[in-house]
């Protein structure tokens, strides 16, 4: 069965420090991968998605970046964190087949709560 791992679960970082969040998927090949951010009590905002190794699409201009060095590894990074980067970060994966109305479910990791102080 497929599983998704995301770490760390909680992170407290000072403003201006770097960031690296990692997400790995097991039990599947060539998944689509996604990074979302969720502000407290709000919906999810898509930050990045990737359809293959080295292929990254950015949805929101910001000081964050993403990389996909391996098929099932997705990394979210920042060189210098801002206070506004605080939030709950979720990684997700899906397998794509069929058109827009196909049942391509996105499965989420447990998330990382990031506090920038």
Partner 1 sequence: AQKITQTQPGMFVQEKEAVTLDCTYDTSDPSYGLFWYKQPSSGEMIFLIYQGSYDQQNATEGRYSLNFQKARKSANLVISASQLGDSAMYFCAMRANDYKLSFGAGTTVTVRA
Chain residues binding partner 1 by CB under 8 A are: 32, 41-44, 46, 49, 51, 59, 88, 90, 92, 94, 96, 99-111, 113
CB of 115 to partner 1, least distance (A): 14
- Least Å distance, CB 43 to partner 1, is 4
**For residues 14 and 43, which CB has a smaller minimum distance to partner 1 in the complex?**
43
- Closest CB to partner 1 among 69 and 100? 100
Residue 14 contacts residue 117 (beta carbons within 8 Å): yes
Q: Distance between CA 54 and CA 70 in Å, rounded?
A: 8
Closest residue by Cα to residue 6 from 97, 104, 89: 89
């Amino acid at each position: 069965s497929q599983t998704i791992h995301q770490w760390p679960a909680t992170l407290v970082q000072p403003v201006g420090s770097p960031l690296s969040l990692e997400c790995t998927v097991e039990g599947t090949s060539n998944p689509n991968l996604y990074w979302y951010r969720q502000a407290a009590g709000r919906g999810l905002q898509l930050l990045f998605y990737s359809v293959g190794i080295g292929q990254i699409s950015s949805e929101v201009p910001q000081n964050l970046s993403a990389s996909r060095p391996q098929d099932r590894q997705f990394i979210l990074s920042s060189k210098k964190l801002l206070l506004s980067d605080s939030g709950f970060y979720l990684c997700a994966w899906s397998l794509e087949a069929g058109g827009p109305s196909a049942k391509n479910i996105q499965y989420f990791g447990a998330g990382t709560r990031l506090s920038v102080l």
